Amino acid sequence: DFKEALVAFARQIILASPEDRPEGAEALRAHRQQLGFLRTLIESALSSFDRKAERPEARERDFHWRFAMYGNEVPPGVEETAATLYEQGNLDEAGAAFRLLVDAFDHYAEGYNFLGCIADDRGNLSEAIAMYQKTVALGRNLFPKRIARSRYWSDLKTRPYMRGLRNLARSLKAARRYDEALSACDRLERECHDTIMADSYRAAIHLNTGRWLAAAEAAERVLDMDPSEGFVAAFARAERGERRPALENFLHAALNHPLAARLLTGLTCRKPRNHTDAEDYNAGVGYLRSLDGYLQDRRSPEGRRFLRHVIRDARVGSLLDEIRTVRTRWFEER
């Protein structure tokens, strides 16, 4: 099979010579990035083959059982090569690589998840949602026949489904398709026991749609795992006129994320000074996007006015400055 495929590919490359055929040049140009990714894989395979001596399991190759064990799965090293392109921000090359992989491997759910992330990063929510839906559909078919929900995260075959469902809920929320997003959250909780992410997404959706009590309760359920959810709970409690719980939730979140607190209350924010500061700042940017329905659709939300007044208090400002100082010192000593 390998030789047959190699000969067919070689024939296409030879016939597509741009020197003789303009249409061949167009074909090569259209698939340039995928060919570049394939060249990387070929060079890696040949280099690995040249470095390794003949191993004892060579005796077993007559039966090809090791090859059969892989089935229709993308080898981890190949996925890592494509994922590295994405992590480095090379979205065009990563998109071409994962598109080639999903075309070559019929049930490669994680590839569609990466394609969804790439579309998401480009701001194409409709395409991202379609890719995540494909991830969920394929990922569910990868589940072992018998597996307890408590083992979902410990079994690698369940992860594409769970990651895809998380990303689907987040993208539907960003697209303001709130009913569909809540349905995806229900599936996360019901099918995967992923109550933390389900409640996190629900809290933002309820705040964006003006359901203050539901937003506060959902956010407060996950505060122990993610202190930043205190911002959502604080906004919701303040909108209900519950100043004391709003203050408590806000201070809990702000002492863990002082830069995010300034961003979310509409104040200027100094440039991040280290990796921890950057994570703090990015958390604030993430909430600005996630809570856009609440922050942008209302000229001056009551919750934001109240919390801006809180953060301008000299005592609170001193605490947040101290947190940043201690955090910077800890980072430098580490």
Segment 78-120, tens digit of pLDDT: 999 999 999 999 999 999 999 999 999 988 999 999 999 999 9
Q: How many helices (H) and strands (E) does the chain have?
A: 19, 0
Give the pLDDT confidence score for residue 70 in this predicted structure. 61
Task: Work out the widest C-alpha separation in the chain, in whole angstroms.
Answer: 77
Give the pLDDT confidence score for residue 299 in this predicted structure. 56
Tokens 């993430």 sit on residue: 286
User: Are the C-beta atoms of residues 207 and 235 closer than 8 Å to each other?
Assistant: yes
User: Are the C-beta atoms of residues 232 and 211 closer than 8 Å to each other?
Assistant: no
Tokens 């990035």 sit on residue: 33
pLDDT in tens, 283-318: 999 999 999 999 887 656 788 889 999 999 999 999
Rounded Cα distance, 26 and 10, in Å: 17
Of residues 230, 269, 220, 236, the one with CA closest to residue 250: 230
> How many CA atoms are closer than 13 Å to the CA of 99, on its beta-carbon side?
14
**Cβ atoms < 10 Å from Cβ of 138:** 21
